[in-house]
Amino acid sequence: MSSTLRVKPEWIDYNGHLNMAYYGVLFDTAFDQALAAMGLGEDYVHQRGGTTMTAEWHVVYRREVKLEDQLRVTLQLIDFDDKRLHVYMEMRHATESWLAAAAESMNLHVDMGERKVRPFPPDVLATMAIMKAAHAALPRPVLLGRVMAVPRPHAEAGQVVR
């Protein structure tokens, strides 16, 4: 779980709530905290020349966040391979626990010298395996893997839905 995250006044838009761009800032802050705990933080970039970069990002907004709201983000490692990391995060109110938003991302391991996708080192893969094993006991998130589409009634066989 992330540290308590606070909404800055300049992040509130003319609708009186957190502008959608800053959900990304908050999720990214929490993701950086999780990466640091996994040994993939800023020190990793400077000492080992690798980092993670986001390849794909999906956010589902569930409840408005206002200036006075304090938030926490949880992260669940869904899957990984030698070059990719698939994570799911939920942003919740820090004291009331209501769900503000959920995010899912696919992240790539990048060699900063060549700026190319490269395999994670064996020790990092081992850490991710431990984390995935621990997270395997968690329920599969309901909002994971959503496809964006306009809902349509089901068509009968051979009928086109417009």
Distances (CA, A) of 139 to 76, 77, 100, 111, 144: 10, 12, 19, 33, 11
Is the per-residue pLDDT at 84 higher than 70?
yes
DSSP-derived letter for residue 9 is: G
State yes or no: pLDDT of 90 exceeds 70.
Answer: yes
What long-range pairs does 12-15 form, CB within 8 A, spacing at least 24? Answer: 12/66, 12/67
**Are 106 and 56 a contacting pair, CB within 8 Å?**
yes
50-77 mean pLDDT: 96
Q: Is 33 left (phi over 0), alpha (psi -120 to 50) or beta?
A: alpha
Model confidence band, residue 153 (pLDDT cutoffs 50, 70, 90): confident
The predicted model scores a pTM of: 0.89
